Structure 1
Amino acid sequence: MVERRLVSSGSYLEPVIGFSRAVRVGNTIVVGGTAPIAAEGGTAAVGYMYGQARRCLEIIAQAIADAGGSMADVTRTRIIVTDISLWEDAARAHAEVFGEIRPVTTLMEVSGFVDPDWLIEIEAEALLTGD
C-alpha cells in the first residue's frame, strides 16, 4: 500500500474545514489553496498583492519540503486572485520562484476568500522523480 502523508501548516482553518496544507501519496505532493497567513497569525501584507503572493509561496515551499520535495519538483500552480487588475504583482512573485522551473499555471479571479483581507491564494502540485 502506498503511504499517504499529511502535512499541516498550523493554519487555524485546517481543523475547522478538515483539510491538510499538503498531501503526499507516492511521488505526488498536492498543496491546497494557500492563503497569505502571517507567521504570527493574521494576514500578511494586508492590501499588498506582491507581499501576499510571496507569503503564500513561502508557506507552499515549507509544505513541499515537509513532504520531502522542493520547489524544483513543482509541475503545476494555480494563482487565484480577488482583483485581476493586480495580476502582474502576483505574477512577479511567482516568476521570482518559478522563472527557471516553469510549471504550468492558471491565473484566475474569484469574488472573494474566507478572509476579506486575502487578495490571493495559490495551489501547487509536485512530482518527485528521484523516488
Structure 2
Amino acid sequence: MTSHRQTVGSGSPLEPQIGFSRAVRLGGHVAVAGTAPIADDGTNAAPGDVYAQTVRCLDIAERALVAAGATLDDVIRTRIMLTDVTRWKEAARAHGERFGEVRPVTTFVGVSRFIDPEWLVEVEVDAVLG
C-alpha cells in the first residue's frame, strides 16, 4: 500500500533554499522540523527569554501539525534543543503547559548554537495519527 506524502511549509525563505519542509506527513506519521522562535513578521521572538521562545516554537509546531491533520494529542515525541541547557526548566514549563496531559517522550539536549545566535531554543515534534 502506498502512503500519500504531504509537505507543510511555514513560509520561511530558507525552506526552498535548503530544501526542507516545516512538516511532512506520510500516512499516519507527521514529523515537524527543528522549529525556531521566529515571529510572524520574520524577526526573532522574545530575545533572551527561553520560556517565551519555547512557547513561540510550540505555536509554530502546532500550526504545522494542524496543517498536516494532526493535533498536540497525536504527539509521541518532542526534542527541545537549548544553547544553554542549564535553562531547561524555562523550556520545560512551556512544554508542560502544552503536553502535561499528552506526555510524549521528550529529550532536552544542549547545543553549541543555532543559525541565528539570538535563538536560544528549537523544538522538533513527531506525531502519529491513531
TM-score interval, smaller chain: over 0.9
Aligned to 2:89: 88
Aligned to 1:127: 128
Cα distance between partner residues in 2 of 1:96 and 1:121: 17
Structure 1 residue ranges, 4+ long, deviating more than 4 angstroms after superposition: none
**Aligned pairs for 1:1-131 within 5 A:** 1-129=2-130
Cα distance between partner residues in 2 of 1:60 and 1:28: 15
Amino acid at match of 2:87: L
Unaligned runs of 5+ in 2: none
Q: Normalization by structure 1: what TM-score? A: 0.97
The SS at the match of 1:44 is coil
Q: Normalization by structure 2: what TM-score? A: 0.97
Unaligned runs of 5+ in 1: none
Following TM superposition, by how much is the alpha carbon of 1:12 offset from its aligned partner in structure 2, in angstroms?
Answer: 2.1
Following TM superposition, by how much is the alpha carbon of 1:11 offset from its aligned partner in structure 2, in angstroms?
Answer: 1.4
Following TM superposition, by how much is the alpha carbon of 1:17 offset from its aligned partner in structure 2, in angstroms?
Answer: 1.1
Following TM superposition, by how much is the alpha carbon of 1:105 offset from its aligned partner in structure 2, in angstroms?
Answer: 0.5
Cα distance between partner residues in 1 of 2:13 and 2:52: 21
Give the root-mean-square deviation of aligned CA atoms.
Answer: 0.6
